[in-house]
Structure 1
Amino acid sequence: MPIAIDACAAQHQGDRKEQQDRVAILPHTRKKGIALAVVADGMGGHTGGALAAEQVIHTARNNLDHFAPADESPQVMLENSMREAHTMIKASRFINEKDPHSTAVMLLLQPGKVTWAHCGDSRLYRFKGNKLVSRTVDHSYVEHLLATGRITAEQALTHPNRNVLLTSLGGQDEPKFDFAEAESFAGGDAFVLCSDGLWAYFDDEEMAGVIAENSARNACEILIERARNRGRGAGDNISLAIIKLVEVEAPKVVPPVGFVPRPKN
């Protein structure tokens, strides 16, 4: 059965004075069936974080426009997008005297293949129906403690250093990137990219259920509303992009008017 894409990008400023997140779903300007989803969570004082996150989107858009699947691998395109954004964010320090940084999570959708990459603690979730298949592992101090068994998952939720990142775009050190890819997927699969202003309020099961039971747009609205309520007046910026693969019926072939089928011998 043919597969259609149901996608939506959404964000909310939360209770912050400024929206420093950026989110976009970008179609390739020349190649049908190719699109790039991006979420960037900026940090760095007034306007600095917003400029950093905007640079991530700008660089990703430029690299997507020049992406030629026959000549460049998806992973190389994603890595170049993040590495170039890192360089430009670092350079902006000398212009605006700020200390801008940004996370990044990107998903490149092509016919028969999905590739993603991330830097920092903005996440990508992959669901099949209402079940989690995988999610990215945050480049954060708390995730490191969790992976080494020094704290539990419950302790990670309230750890005082849960916002400390081990890598980001625009920092003094070279950023760390992680990549993954899927070539087998079907209707009912879904991908979610989001900043910590969203995922901090949900476990995997609840998020999967909301996405499986709703359109991409309705799921965005529900998740943002719940995150806002749970933030209790102290919520962070929220950004997310949802890409659902939906099975659709193949169009029926209607014979032209006056067509008379030949009798079989």
Structure 2
Amino acid sequence: MSKAFRMIASTGIHKGDREYQQDQVLLLAHPRFNGCVLATLADGMGGRSGGRKASDQVMMTARQLFERYSPESDDAEALLRSMVLEAHTVIRLTAITSEQEPHSTIAAFLINPRGDCHWVHAGDSRIYHFRNGQLVKRSSDHSYVQALVDRGEISEAEANVHPNSNILVGCLGTESDPPITMHTISQLQPGDVLLSCSDGVWHYFSPAELASVLDSLTPREATEFLIDKARMRARGGGDNLSLAIVKLEALPELPTPPLKAFGVNT
């Protein structure tokens, strides 16, 4: 790691204008390894209890696997892949026993003590990486409208107002295996911000707006601002909202102690 940094983090969750909450968000510091952090977000779908059961399973799986993870010997990408597949399997079993159709998205990122970061997502919950107020990368949704954008048939702006913007082409709990898209940031730096959020948040902001908010506010302030602004822009028709923010700040450099002269008697 080229420069020492500290992590400042916050999570937020709100029911929005829905009758019940199906989103879940979890931010964990590793119990044994300082500087190892996991953020996991899940947007549950499938009726009042079905969607919540699905997102609960994602959180439970993430917590159990992360507690057994060792950044010194284990592979971060293997951990994230296992999180998706194991949660998917449990959700499928829940569907059989409960006669419901629970589904969930997942958007999770893991930061190792040495400064590398890995993320995984399935569905349309997103992860953004900003550096010094500029978007570096965001995850690409597993959705119908994202496929249209990728083919150049519609723009990003048109995708946000498309009547089929809520149609997913993959997530956890479906009959087929979930899509698993991963990304690695080899070295985080001071000025980096990671944001994971459900579509109830990102739907109402451009990347430039998100970058500005995250650059100018603390994670806690940004969490409150984004939820309040999304609620306002939803005009009474908003979805559940959830987000996790991790911001990296440089540690102040310690002053160099003054040189001391030593005399030698002969």
Q: Distance in 1 between matches of 2:190 and 2:73?
A: 29
Post-superposition offset of 1:210: 0.3
Post-superposition offset of 1:245: 0.3
1:186 to 184, 189, 196: 189
Amino acid of the structure 2 residue aligned with 1:168:
C
Q: Distance in 1 between matches of 2:77 and 2:251?
A: 30
Q: Deviations over 1:80-138 (max 9, x none)?
A: 01100000000001222110000001100112211001000000000011110000000
Match in the other structure for 1:42 = 44
Match in the other structure for 2:27 = 25
Post-superposition offset of 1:207: 0.5
Tell me the matched-pair count. Answer: 261
1:211 to 214, 220, 230: 214
Q: Normalising by structure 1, what TM-score?
A: 0.94
Q: Is the 8 A contact 1:2 1:250 kept in 2?
A: no
Give the match's secondary structure for 1:47: helix
Q: Normalising by structure 2, what TM-score?
A: 0.94
Post-superposition offset of 1:191: 0.4
Stretches of structure 2 lacking an aligned partner (at least 5 in a row): none
Q: Distance in 2 between matches of 1:253 and 1:40?
A: 46
Q: Distance in 2 between matches of 1:178 and 1:83?
A: 12
Task: Find out whether 1:16 has 2:15 as its counterpart.
Answer: no
Post-superposition offset of 1:16: 0.3
Q: Distance in 2 between matches of 1:147 and 1:254?
A: 56
Q: Distance in 1 between matches of 2:17 and 2:60?
A: 26
Q: Distance in 2 between matches of 1:238 and 1:70?
A: 35
Match in the other structure for 2:132 = 129
1:196 to 196, 199, 206: 199
Amino acid of the structure 2 residue aligned with 1:263:
F
Amino acid of the structure 2 residue aligned with 1:157:
N
Match in the other structure for 2:61 = 59
Post-superposition offset of 1:72: 2.2
Amino acid of the structure 2 residue aligned with 1:41:
D
Q: Distance in 2 between matches of 1:184 and 1:99?
A: 40
Match in the other structure for 2:103 = 101
Match in the other structure for 2:167 = 164
Q: Distance in 2 between matches of 1:251 and 1:55?
A: 45
Post-superposition offset of 1:262: 6.2
Match in the other structure for 2:262 = 263
Stretches of structure 1 lacking an aligned partner (at least 5 in a row): 256-260
Post-superposition offset of 1:264: 5.5
Q: Distance in 2 between matches of 1:216 and 1:9?
A: 8
Amino acid of the structure 2 residue aligned with 1:243:
V
Aligned-residue Cα RMSD (Å) equals: 1.7
Amino acid of the structure 1 residue aligned with 2:262:
P
Post-superposition offset of 1:250: 3.7
Q: Deviations over 1:240-262 (max 9, x none)?
A: 0000000121456999xxxxx66
Give the match's secondary structure for 1:61: helix
Match in the other structure for 1:120 = 123
Q: Is the 8 A contact 1:131 1:205 kept in 2?
A: yes
Give the match's secondary structure for 2:48: coil
Match in the other structure for 1:224 = 227
Give the match's secondary structure for 1:9: strand
Over 3 Å counting, the alpha-carbon distance change for 1:202 and 1:264 in structure 2 is farther
Amino acid of the structure 2 residue aligned with 1:60:
A
Match in the other structure for 1:258 = none
Post-superposition offset of 1:77: 0.2
Higher mean Cα deviation, 208-217 or 65-74? 65-74
Q: Distance in 2 between matches of 1:250 and 1:84?
A: 43
Amino acid of the structure 2 residue aligned with 1:72:
D
Q: Distance in 1 between matches of 2:55 and 2:156?
A: 29
Post-superposition offset of 1:46: 1.4
